[in-house]
């Protein structure tokens, strides 16, 4: 018989909704899990939004102050999906209150922020899971196993791309996302953080890097009211975009492999074009998030003119079997967050970390800071 675990969600924008839906689906996909989440509380400072969430999803109570969640003895685990600049304060407070935390990336605005949350989690003896969801795609896990098995030989180089158009419209509102003090490093924290995690997940630690960044939409209109997601604003006072729209980066891995990581939030014509190409001495593996359940695989001994085959992942890959009974049945973005919720709850149930941890968040944040430093100085930066 599964035990009940009281959970809360702090911040109910789009990502708060995604976390809540993931909790609701856990019993459907993981019936043998020893814990069942119970939606105890939702915290959101925008008037009326928490009440709407409670009415739709069944939270037992609402608040506009996340500190009430930290003080609530019914809550044992918390999803932190508030804006980035609040992650450190909320994450540390929740851990110190004895709450397990599932926190979205980036974990704060700096590596110091991520480290503070990691330290608080370790000191409190609670579990901490981080929202690097793309590594949860069964095809990505299959690619990692293929690489580790040596089927494509020794990895020589990788390209990781994360292109999107969510900030491409010139009327996109000047929200906290574009401010250095509240949104941090812009596309680095938003998209390149995922790229760093994917690169590390597939190839291991990054030894050094050099990067270049740019802002392509330098001014935006300030919003006149509450915003959610990537809303538009017209006629408002113009203000400067303070953080990066674009980054490209050369990587050197501890293994000796080389890499290129590129991310952009203003790429007109690109909608969530995320993926990677990993090349080895005997083959290659390719993944595109928009065709999430497929891999392009080249392997053999032909070398020159060696063909690429399309492989449809199935129940033997990652957590695919919890969602679909046979290969080539589609999975989607929200399914990856259900996998993440499962890792979080399993970590709590067994007392052993599963999935992405605060250590991964700290290492990703260190790489992002190295990119910023490199772009400022024009030099290579070591991550040792």
Checking DSSP bridges between strand 219-221 and strand 238-240, what pairing results, if any?
antiparallel
Q: Where are the alpha helices (DSSP H) in the chain?
A: 14-29, 49-57, 66-70, 87-96, 111-124, 138-149, 180-183, 187, 193-203, 333-350, 358-377
pTM as predicted: 0.94
Buried b (16+ CB within 10 A) or exposed e, 93-113: bbbebebbbbbbbbbbbbbeb
Residues 109, 137: contact at Cβ < 8 Å?
no
Give how far the C-alpha of residue 365 lies from the chain's centroid of Cα atoms, to the nearest Å.
12
Residue 69, classified by CB atoms within 10 Å of its CB into exposed (0-12), middle (13-18) or buried (19+), is buried
13 half-sphere exposure, CB direction, 13 A CA radius: 13
Residues 319-338: tens digit of each pLDDT = 999 999 999 999 999 999 99
- Residue 275 pairs in a beta bridge with 161, 288
Distance CA 281, CA 12 (A): 47
Structure token digits, residue 210: 């050099």
Residues 319, 138: contact at Cβ < 8 Å?
yes
Residues 46, 39: contact at Cβ < 8 Å?
no
Residues 292, 272: contact at Cβ < 8 Å?
no
User: What sign results for the dihedral spanned by CA atoms 141, 146, 149, 152?
Assistant: negative
The angle at the Cα of 149, spanning 144 to 150, to the nearest 5 degrees, equals 105
Q: What letter does residue 232 receive in the DSSP assignment? A: B
Residue by residue, pLDDT tens for the chain (384 residues) are 789 999 999 999 999 999 999 999 999 999 999 999 999 999 999 999 999 999 999 999 999 999 999 999 999 999 999 999 999 999 999 999 999 999 999 999 999 999 999 999 999 999 999 999 999 999 999 999 999 999 999 999 999 999 999 999 989 999 888 999 999 999 999 999 999 999 999 999 999 999 999 999 999 998 875 555 567 666 678 999 999 999 999 999 999 999 999 999 999 999 999 999 999 999 999 999 999 999 999 999 999 999 999 999 999 999 999 999 999 999 999 999 999 999 999 999 999 999 999 999 999 999 999 999 999 999 999 997
């Amino acid at each position: 018989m599964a035990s009940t675990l009281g959970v809360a969600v702090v911040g109910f924008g789009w990502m708060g909704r995604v976390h809540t839906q993931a909790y609701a689906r856990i019993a459907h996909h993981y019936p043998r899990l020893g814990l069942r989440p119970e939606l105890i509380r939702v915290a959101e400072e925008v008037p009326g939004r928490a009440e709407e969430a409670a009415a739709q999803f069944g939270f037992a109570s609402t608040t506009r102050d996340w500190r009430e969640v930290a003080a609530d003895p019914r809550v044992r685990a918390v999803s932190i999906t508030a804006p980035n600049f609040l992650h450190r304060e909320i994450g540390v407070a929740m851990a110190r209150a004895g709450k397990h935390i599932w926190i979205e990336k980036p974990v704060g605005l700096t590596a110091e922020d991520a480290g503070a949350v990691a330290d608080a989690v370790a000191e409190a003896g609670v579990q901490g899971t981080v929202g690097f969801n793309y590594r949860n795609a069964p095809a990505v896990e299959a690619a990692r196993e293929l690489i580790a098995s040596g089927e494509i030989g020794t990895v020589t180089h990788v390209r990781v791309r994360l292109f999107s158009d969510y900030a491409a419209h010139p009327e996109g509102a000047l929200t906290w996302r574009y401010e250095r003090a509240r949104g941090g490093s812009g596309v680095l924290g938003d998209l390149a953080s995922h790229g760093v995690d994917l690169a590390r997940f597939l190839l291991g630690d990054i030894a050094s890097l050099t990067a270049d960044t740019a802002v392509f939409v330098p001014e935006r209109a300030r919003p006149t009211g509450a915003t959610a997601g990537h809303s538009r604003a017209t006629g408002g006072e113009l203000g400067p975009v303070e953080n990066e729209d674009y980054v490209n980066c050369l990587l050197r891995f501890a293994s000796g492999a080389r890499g290129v990581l590129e991310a952009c939030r203003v790429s007109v014509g690109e909608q969530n074009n995320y993926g990677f190409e990993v090349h080895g001495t005997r083959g290659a593996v390719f993944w595109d998030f928009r065709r999430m359940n497929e891999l392009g695989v080249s392997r053999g001994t032909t070398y020159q003119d060696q063909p690429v085959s399309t492989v449809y992942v199935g129940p033997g890959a990652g957590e695919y079997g919890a969602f679909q009974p046979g290969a080539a049945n589609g999975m989607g973005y929200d399914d990856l967050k259900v996998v993440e919720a499962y890792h979080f709850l399993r970590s709590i149930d067994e007392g052993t970390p599963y999935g992405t941890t605060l250590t991964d968040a700290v290492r990703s944040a260190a790489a992002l800071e190295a990119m910023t430093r490199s772009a400022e100085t024009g030099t290579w930066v070591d991550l040792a």
